[in-house]
Amino acid sequence: MAVLDKYTRQLDDILRGLDDAALRIVRKSDDTILDLNRGQLLQGLTPKGTKLKPDYRLIRYATAKNGANPLPGFGTPDLKLTGKFHSNFYLTAQNGEIDFFSSDTKTSKLIEKYGKDNIFGLTVQNNEILNYKIIAPKLIQWVLSKIKI
């Protein structure tokens, strides 16, 4: 019975620490996670997987942007001109939630025009990458490191 009690205590400790361990993993992987969000925008995608709207108004500007980055399609914004907005991305992770933001001076204007929920966050596909390829393997390693047989 003592052996079973030992394993039960280990499992209780693991369960109590699971949320904190996951948050630490997210914080340590923030650059990779932010790259997922940036990559979506470079394709002109919102976290819902739809094209970012509204399209560029000026044909000349849309043509220039399409020449610089054709991934989003003609006229679809990628919110990257100088790169400052994208390079100032950061995330916060707390209470099981990940929030994305940018400290760039243009952020409030971009949010006003496109909506925070259309700029920041991950698509279903990128959430799967986050959960199954970034968090899960590291969380499994953490759990295994806590088990003492």
Residue partners of 90: CB distance under 8 A and separation at least 6: 30, 34, 100, 101, 102, 103
From the list 113, 135, 132, the residue with the least C-alpha distance to 124 is 132
Cα dihedral 67, 71, 73, 78 sign: negative
Paired tokens of 38: 């940036």
What is the per-residue pLDDT for 4? 81
Judge if pTM exceeds 0.85.
yes
| pLDDT tens, residue by residue, 1-17 | 677 888 888 888 889 99
Q: Check pLDDT > 80 for residue 149.
A: no
Spans of all domains in the chain: 2-146
> Mean pLDDT throughout 7-29?
91
Paired tokens of 85: 């907005």
| pLDDT tens, residue by residue, 48-93 | 999 999 999 999 999 999 999 999 999 999 999 999 999 999 999 9
Task: List the beta bridge partners of residue 92.
Answer: 99
